[in-house]
Structure 1
Amino acid sequence: MLELEIDAVVFDVLGTLVDEPAGIRAGIRELAPSLDESRIGELLSLWQQHISREQCGILGGVRPYLTSDVLDLEAARLIADAAGVDDPTAVAALALSGRRLPPWPDTVAGLARIAERFPLIGLSNASRTALLGLNAHAGLRWHQALSAEDARTYKPDPAVYQLAVTVSGRSPERLLMVAAHAWDLRGAQGLGLRTAYVARPVGDPPTSADRFDLHADDLADLAEQLDSA
């Protein structure tokens, strides 16, 4: 077992602690109940592609910074147009589906267990307002929840990880970044944070070139490894 000397654990939220695709799928079903699952999957992909493309555009300087709330509303309008729905109230409701994401079955208990030993910091690309709703809906408990909105950019920009470093008052190597997305962990490594990959069905698995400090099947497994480290 790799020996880790850490003072706080930083968690990605979307995909790592909550099932983002499931929440968006539910929102699309509410928008257009007649759609079959195949079509819902296509619209979900359209949503995901829009968010990814626009965040990349902001990171690349193509667009000025916009919060996740604005990008979600843009995505909701695209989905509604594709589904033939022109009800503004329904579109607004779909845009908020990103705040109603179910936690993975191990999330709440896993966070509680890890919190017995370490301060927990949530670090999300979701806006401050969206993160508040997300935390409340999924029952996520933090010592501190930080939004990329405070850095006016998105992960994997180093400025977002710096938020956690600054709040913790510790050097980067004393923090452990936990995520189901290899790209997120690479971004954290770039600033010097230790890293832990947690497998999720919707994550971005590591490649053979990635070297993360810990690999866990779920949060229970991660807690066990941290107890043994």
Structure 2
Amino acid sequence: MRPEQANSVDTGAPGQWGGPAPSVLVFDVNETLIDFDAMLPLFDRVFGDQRVLREWLGQLIMYSMTLTLSGLYEDYYSLGEGLLRMVGRVHGAQVTTADTEELRTGMQTMPAHPDVEEGLTKLRNEGLRMVTLTNSPPSPHGQTPLEHAGLAHFFERQFTIETARSYKPAPQVYHMVAQELAVPPSACLMVATHVWDTVGAQSAGFTAGLLTRPGNAPLPIPSLPQPNVIAPDLSALADKIIETRRVS
């Protein structure tokens, strides 16, 4: 067997935890549970091209990491607004205050992906503890994005990186969750649609499940942590997690 085959990504075969089965599922929120594509009309109107949404989102991820690596912090929504103006300059598009306000509102009110409620219901019925860990700041005067999407009742707690003032995938963010829940990192499984999030969580001692939503795929480099479970949507991922736990 070639080395790359020996370290290839598994898609949920039994016994993939490398230890006791995880008892806490830690969910990313943005793109994993709620759908950024709800903001496509804004980008179509401002830029005349819906594809700029993905460009802006890539910048949002890159600059959130840049702030943490630089020892700086700005909240997720303010960073998103500033980057909308920056991308506007790159494309020669005028971005108004009304546009940035619409973006902030959009980031707080995105709907759930259609597969999410079914998947969460399966996992809740299995008796697993479930929490969220998001880059979005808390909403002291209104609903969180999770509450607006109608998903908050599934979760024991909603964690935000603002507590640590560091963005994922900084290890202290994942450790914060484990410490607050009084469990070892190995008891936690990170569910995310971004490989940078699963790699960060696994480097902090978590196991991980990857949702390969459109535009996302495993990173097949043998020296890097690979997700323990992979599926195209949350309902299918829930089935694999439950199956793997029962035979572990």
| Shorter-chain TM-score range | 0.7 to 0.9
- Equivalent position amino acid for 2:147 in 1: A
Given that 2:159 and 2:177 are in contact with CA atoms closer than 8 Å, whether structure 1 keeps it comes out as yes
How many Å apart are 1:123 and its aligned residue?
A: 0.7
Residues 3 and 58 of structure 1, relative CA distance in 2, 3 Å threshold: closer
Given that 1:10 and 1:121 are in contact with CA atoms closer than 8 Å, whether structure 2 keeps it comes out as yes
Give 1:29-40 correspondences, 5 Å limit: 29=44, 32=46, 36=48, 39-40=49-50
Given that 1:2 and 1:213 are in contact with CA atoms closer than 8 Å, whether structure 2 keeps it comes out as no
| Separation of aligned partners in 1, 2:237 and 2:138 | 27
Determine which structure has the larger helix proportion and give its number.
1
How many Å apart are 1:96 and its aligned residue?
A: 2.4
Aligned residue in 1 for 2:30 = 14
Q: 1:72 aligns with which of 71, 76, 80?
A: 80
| Separation of aligned partners in 2, 1:54 and 1:3 | 33
How many Å apart are 1:172 and its aligned residue?
A: 0.8
How many Å apart are 1:100 and its aligned residue?
A: 2.3
Aligned residue in 2 for 1:60 = 69
Secondary structure at the aligned position of 1:128 is classed as: coil
Q: TM-score, normalised by structure 2?
A: 0.79
Aligned residue in 2 for 1:127 = 137
Residues 226 and 50 of structure 1, relative CA distance in 2, 3 Å threshold: closer
Given that 1:121 and 1:143 are in contact with CA atoms closer than 8 Å, whether structure 2 keeps it comes out as yes
Residues 213 and 46 of structure 1, relative CA distance in 2, 3 Å threshold: closer
| Separation of aligned partners in 2, 1:90 and 1:184 | 29
More divergent stretch after superposition (201-210 vs 1-10): 201-210
- Equivalent position amino acid for 1:225 in 2: K
| Separation of aligned partners in 1, 2:103 and 2:56 | 11
Give 1:74-223 correspondences, 5 Å limit: 74-78=82-86, 82-86=92-96, 88-116=97-125, 117-129=127-139, 132-141=143-152, 142-209=155-222, 210-223=225-238
Aligned residue in 1 for 2:57 = 48
| 1:195-215 deviations in Å (ceiling 9; x for gaps) | 111211133533242432212
Aligned residues: 220
More divergent stretch after superposition (8-17 vs 47-56): 47-56
Secondary structure at the aligned position of 2:139 is classed as: helix
| Separation of aligned partners in 2, 1:211 and 1:53 | 21
Residues 207 and 129 of structure 1, relative CA distance in 2, 3 Å threshold: farther
| Separation of aligned partners in 2, 1:49 and 1:216 | 22
- Equivalent position amino acid for 1:56 in 2: M
Residues 60 and 204 of structure 1, relative CA distance in 2, 3 Å threshold: farther
Task: Give the root-mean-square deviation of aligned CA atoms.
Answer: 2.4
| Separation of aligned partners in 2, 1:50 and 1:199 | 20
| Separation of aligned partners in 1, 2:99 and 2:241 | 44
Aligned residue in 1 for 2:3 = none
| Separation of aligned partners in 2, 1:9 and 1:53 | 25
How many Å apart are 1:104 and its aligned residue?
A: 1.5
Residues 204 and 216 of structure 1, relative CA distance in 2, 3 Å threshold: closer
| Separation of aligned partners in 2, 1:220 and 1:213 | 16
| 1:175-207 deviations in Å (ceiling 9; x for gaps) | 111111111111111111111112111335332
| Separation of aligned partners in 1, 2:159 and 2:72 | 21
Given that 1:15 and 1:202 are in contact with CA atoms closer than 8 Å, whether structure 2 keeps it comes out as no
Unaligned runs of 5+ in 2: 1-13
